[in-house]
Chain A
């Protein structure tokens, strides 16, 4: 029978009951850290080829834990086939996947990853981002519009996505190819979800010039070949200082792509992989991302983000891709933008 005293006793013991598992968790995590140090290195397969931030994060990780960081980069589809073949042959070389959420979701369905056991920082991501058993969200790339400031006066700039449909831009729009995977495809899917395919049918009448040169397009806008480019990778605006261009963030929000981390099944260094995933969600790593204009997935960094990157890193998010719809969307894009 529960008496008042026994209830009080239980209440007094409750913090201990919570504290013990926490202490046990700490001890468990210490074992992971020690084991990671013994493993000596972590090999990360990165689908964001050439990203300047990951080497910085890796260097910080090395400095903090003394575990060597090694980076292998290739396009998402190439990495996907490499790890699939490695796993099929039992010769897995990579530990951690650092790739777009769409590719990661498809690999998840194929059984490419193993559970990460939720590292201590795993619960830090804030809505709409969340860690699951396999994946941790890392950061977000957002898209906006790039204009040539010599050719477009401030009052005439396209301020919203709908403004791109203004007939004055007919034949003057440069676009990342919406018929191929990448920023163009992200933009196509999000706009289709928000405004229907009619938006694209009207946009197609504007006869945008589409290509896949990505960063090669910025100088084309700066030189005045085209006055407007979309979807523009917003963090890149920090690299374009001095050029007559301006990044525009439509108030309705930016289409975005989330990057996820996960541990490969059969990873030769699973503890180092866990430790690295945990580090990716630390303030230190998240600030590296935020200071380069990427949107962090944890809270509490607002006042610490570099001033020049703050606006971009806190941009309003509009929507992202759905892996299940990807192929249908690519077909639709090919049908509309012939």
Chain B
């Protein structure tokens, strides 16, 4: 007997040893992959910031790039940038919170439809909304101002898109739906018992909302705020189109000038400036880690429940009208311009004699558009899937293990989010073209695919970490106890339960890939064109009508994907385990302490 026992122990020890080896190999592979995806292009940028010439060219190392960064002008530009991003994030946050509350926690009519409509602005290419708002709100001849002066007799315009307010407004159209997407699920998945306890203890509805509801959402809101703020700092189009003409410069427009508007592009200063911003943003993230560290934010337990819905009475039509108003202003107005303009010879110039369907036929007959669409869809589907899988694996290590290396993984996964796209694109170009070894990435379609995975990874990790954080450990342990290998458990338990988060994360990344230009323009090659590059070509050529047609096709895809995602998610939420949502992406940093919840009623017995 004893010999058998010893034999079993030896086998167990061997099994543990081989398991540990496999685990370490898998972990090593994950770290190596992440290093290649994020650290390698960033290392090329660090080199560029410290070297007088770009990689591959003779030069010397010095700190001139960083010295040049420290000027009074740059300080003013930095303050401008931070101010603009703070204001737009703050305003968008208030708006998004209100919209999320309406959709998730009230009995407002048609909430499911509103949830889709409110997110639509996120998917419209910024250049198109800029074009539309340029027509709507320019001080001279803008449609809104013409209506205003016509109605009131005023000589002064009501709105001016070429101003601080204009830049903030245009940025808000992307931040609000983005924040909404990140937060609405957290509202939905909150256990009402916590709020009910507050009310039972005598707190008013407002106090409960402020101190319990918002308090419990602190990880979500702070992380969402941070994600949006960082994106605001790196935002480019709004400031370039509406700010630069009136002297409002931000860090990204400064970088743009250094690269595109000097005789010899100053990559040393441009990369130094971008890395400086990255360090500042990282300090902000570290501050958030510290802020939330050690506190617990249990929002999901194993008990089944239905989120409490506020009965608004007649006011529910007011909240409905508010959502519709948001949709009209941010979608109907600009998209209406696109639809109408797609049927006129000249964008924004409406005369019966100029009605045409030529733009549709021209796009239909343009082989390049079809080739680019095929490439983009291929890259979008494969890229979004690969990114979400990778994000899921990283999130698993972050949230559900205690490996010492997980903090390093988290930092690596964050880095691409903190670097302005146009500079990161140069990092990709340098990294892939100068890559040693037999594998040729540069000049192939896969160079774009790898870059897209890198760009999407931060969002994928946030999304999946938030979802995993809400799943009780018992479920995973139960599967393992029953003999399922780790990969099966990951695939059939964790990914299956986090499916709604995976689905929305997938869609977000798919559309980020669809719109991405900064890296694409530097990495595409003949035959490997993508839609964003074709749009840029047509736009530069002045073919706004054709660009509108392509944008409308993209919007049709958005509708299709969003409604499909809702159907899948709704089907998924029939299980009490499927409460996680992409909205909880924000709660991933730091991973909240996980409620060791019992499986909910109807869940697997273990």
Contact = CB atoms under 8 A, between A and B. Distances in A.
Interface of A: 43, 49-52, 70-75, 77-78, 80-82, 84-89, 91, 93, 102, 106, 177, 179-181, 209-216, 218-220, 222-226, 236, 239-240, 242-243, 323, 326-327, 330, 338
B605 interface: no
B77 interface: no
A106 B263 contact: yes
A220 B131 CA distance: 11
Contacts of A177: 244-245
A77 B260 contact: yes
A78 B442 CA distance: 15
B540 A49 contact: yes
A167 B56 CA distance: 53
B354 interface: yes
A115 B123 CA distance: 48
A50 B538 CA distance: 6
A227 to B, nearest CB: 10
A327 B142 CA distance: 36
Contacts of A218: 542
15 contacts: A50-B539, A51-B541, A70-B526, A78-B260, A81-B267, A81-B522, A88-B56, A91-B443, A106-B264, A210-B245, A213-B241, A215-B544, A216-B131, A219-B347, A327-B263
Given A85-B434, A216-B131, A323-B263, A222 B346 contact: yes
Q: Sort A-B residue pairs by CB-CB distance and give the 4 closest, nearest first.
A: A88-B56, A50-B541, A215-B542, A225-B141
Contacts of B56: 84-85, 87-89
A225 B135 CA distance: 9
Interface string B330-360: 0000000000000001111100011000000
B25 to A, nearest CB: 31
Given A81-B265, A223-B141, A91 B522 contact: no
Given A75-B260, A85-B433, A224-B141, 10 more contacts: A88-B434, A91-B433, A93-B443, A209-B162, A215-B540, A215-B544, A220-B134, A223-B349, A225-B142, A240-B346
B267 to A, nearest CB: 8
A86 B525 CA distance: 12
Nearest to A239: B542
A72 B54 contact: no
A49 B265 contact: no
B259 interface: yes
Interface of B: 54-57, 131, 134-135, 138, 140-142, 162, 240-241, 244-245, 247, 257, 259-265, 267, 345-349, 353-354, 426, 429-430, 433-434, 440, 442-443, 521-522, 524-527, 533, 536-544
Nearest to A73: B537
Contacts of B134: 213, 216, 220
Residue with the highest number of chain A CB atoms closer than 10 Å, among B240, B537, B543: B537
Given A72-B525, A78-B521, A78-B522, A211 B245 contact: yes
Nearest to B526: A70
B245 A214 contact: no
A242 B353 contact: yes
A73 B541 CA distance: 12
B541 A49 contact: yes
Contact of A225 (B55, B138, B430): B138
Given A50-B543, A212-B240, A223-B349, A326 B538 contact: no
A89 B540 contact: no
Given A74-B521, A81-B54, A84-B54, A180 B540 contact: no
Contacts of A102: 263
A24 to B, nearest CB: 35
A81 B429 contact: yes
B537 A49 contact: yes
B349 A82 contact: no
Contacts of A75: 260, 521
Contact of B257 (A84, A89, A91, A180): A180
A120 to B, nearest CB: 27
A225 B348 CA distance: 12
A180 B349 contact: no
A219 B541 contact: no
A139 to B, nearest CB: 16
Given A72-B525, A85-B429, A223-B141, A216 B542 contact: yes
A180 B55 contact: no
A73 B521 CA distance: 8
Nearest to B518: A78
Contact of B260 (A86, A181, A220, A224): A181
B427 to A, nearest CB: 11
